[in-house]
Amino acid sequence: MTDASGPEPRMVLLQIGETYWLSQGEEYLNPMLMGGGFFPTPVICYQFANHFALRAYLGADQSMTDFWGINPDIVARLRRDGHLLDCEPPIE
């Protein structure tokens, strides 16, 4: 949903197995990692079967080094606290 102030803030993680990267919401990274302060919830976690599926989603121009790696323990805390929404990536 958007309004005059712009799109709603959100955080998006990309997942393959037990490996996670933050693809959107870098400005909220510290509060999410620390578990305090404001960060938009739920944190969306797009799950991919393998690197080929992730590559197809991101496109050839996007490098994985552009994203922050997120420790699986942080993701486990988000999941435990009800702040994570696991889902399939949108079809583009």
Number of domains in the chain: 1
pLDDT band at 2; cut points 50, 70, 90: very low
Distance in angstroms between the alpha carbons of the first and the last residue of the chain:
18
C-beta of residue 10 within 8 angstroms of C-beta of residue 25: yes
Tell me whether residue 50 is in a domain.
Answer: yes
Domain coverage including residue 30? 2-87
SS3 state of residue 13: strand
Residue 27 lies in a domain: yes
User: Is residue 74 a part of any domain in this protein?
Assistant: yes
Question: Each residue of 20-59: pLDDT tens digit?
Answer: 999 999 999 999 999 889 999 999 999 999 999 999 999 9
Q: Which residue has the tokens 């590559």?
A: 55
Cα-to-chain-centroid distance, residue 85: 10
Asked if residue 92 is part of any domain, the answer here is no
Cβ neighbours around 27 below 10 Å, total: 11
Q: Is residue 59 part of a domain?
A: yes
78: which 2 tokens? 């988000």
